[in-house]
Structures are given as C-alpha cells and as structure tokens.
Amino acid sequence: MSDTATFAGGSPLAGAQGATEGRVAACGDAGVTAVIRDGVGLATVMARTGASDALTQRVRERLGIELPQGPHRSAAAGVAFVGMGPGSWLALAERDGDDFSARLMSELDGVASVSDQSDGYTMIRLSGANVRDALAKLIPIDVDPRAFQVGDAASTVASHIGVTVWRLPDGPHSSPLFEVILFRSLTRSFWHALAEAAGEYGFAG
C-alpha cells in the first residue's frame, strides 16, 4: 500500500508550497510530519432502523471489534470503526482498499447501510514531537494526552474546514500519532493551514 496520494490536479504539496517555503524540514528534523494515507478502504456505516443491537453483535462476531458508542475509535486486525454520531460510523481498512466496502456490505447485510467513501475523503497521519502544538493552532479541541486519550475521536473544524481527528497509540520513541480525515476536495486548503501551523517547528510532508 502506498503512503502517498495522487490527485488529478497534482500533489497537495503544490497547493501549499507558498506556506512551507523556507520551513520544510527533513523528516528526522521535523517537529511535525504529515503522511497522506493512500489505498486505505473507507466506508460509512449506518445502523438500520431497530437493528443497532444486531449490528453491534454482527461487528463483534464477524470483525472482532466492539462497536464504539460515541466519539471513539476501536480497531482489530487492520480494521477500525470511528463513531461519527448516533448510529453512524466511519469504517477503515488498512489492506482491502476499494474492496473494503463490498466486504462490509456482505458482512453487515440486513443490519446496516454501507456506502463506499474511499474516493471521497483524504486521511492524513500526523506525528512528531510538536504535533500537539500544531493541532492546538488548528482545532478547538484540547489534545493534551490527559484530555484526548488513545482511541478518542472528535469531529471539529480546522481553519474553517470540517475534519474528524482521532488519536492512535504512540509511535516509536513515544511520538504522538493522530489521524485526520476530511473531504478530498479540501485537501490542499487543509495542507496549507497545517503547514502554516507547523512551520515554526519544522514541517515534513
């Protein structure tokens, strides 16, 4: 699976070059690193009327995941569900790509409506010693580790752009890890805002 997305209009970096000029760092020196996750399968899942309990049980039995109730991320075996609202989740798969939604439709037939979103969203992984500092400039959410714990998720705005963010388990050397998802058409605008927020710390993307 590639970690770099390709856009019909070019790389998202092209839309942010003006913001990052003179402040782009090598990954090893960057306080904030951003990687666009390409090839990840994405789908929205909505419980059918009266089928919430059946859906929870189906996801547990078929996918080994305890379906989150509320703004939280639960994952197992390369598949994750993020609570987006009452009876609504975003489902992600690291390996299945475009086949993921078809797999979910089969697994959750009769208890949920599944819509493929793989081409509609961009997912960006953020890491680095100063990633919380950069996020604090972008979103009105307290991302202190005591307030925003591993698995927590929130739908919010970043520089007037609607995003959903969640925290992953820390990476190597206890580096904090977050993922952000947003409409694909807004990627360049978000990248520009992220580069501005992270510029003083050194930004690699």
Given this model, what pLDDT does residue 173 score?
82
| Predicted pLDDT at 98 | 73
User: What pLDDT was estimated at residue 174?
Assistant: 85
On the question of pLDDT at 132 being above 50, the answer is: yes
User: Is the pLDDT at 200 greater than 70, yes or no?
Assistant: yes
The domains found in the chain, sorted by start residue, are 12-38+120-204 (3.30.1360.120), 41-116 (3.30.70.1520)
Q: pLDDT tens for residues 141-189?
A: 999 999 999 999 999 999 999 999 999 999 888 889 999 999 999 999 9
Q: Does 25 or 135 have the greater pLDDT score? A: 135
- φ and ψ of 189, to 5 deg: -65, -40
Residue 172's pLDDT is 85
pLDDT in the model for residue 28: 59
Evaluate if residue 25 carries a pLDDT over 70.
no
Amino acid at position 157, single letter: V
Contact 170, 177 (CB under 8 A): yes
pLDDT in tens, 45-102: 999 999 999 999 999 999 999 999 999 999 999 999 999 999 999 999 987 777 899 9
Q: What is the mean pLDDT of residues 123-127?
A: 97
The pLDDT assigned to 35 comes to 96
> What DSSP letter does each residue of 55-96 carry, written as one string?
HHHHHHHHH-----SSSBEEEETTEEEEEEETTEEEEEESS-
pLDDT computed for residue 12 by the predictor: 43
pTM listed for this prediction? 0.85
Q: Rounded to 5 degrees, what are φ and ψ at 76?
A: -165, 135
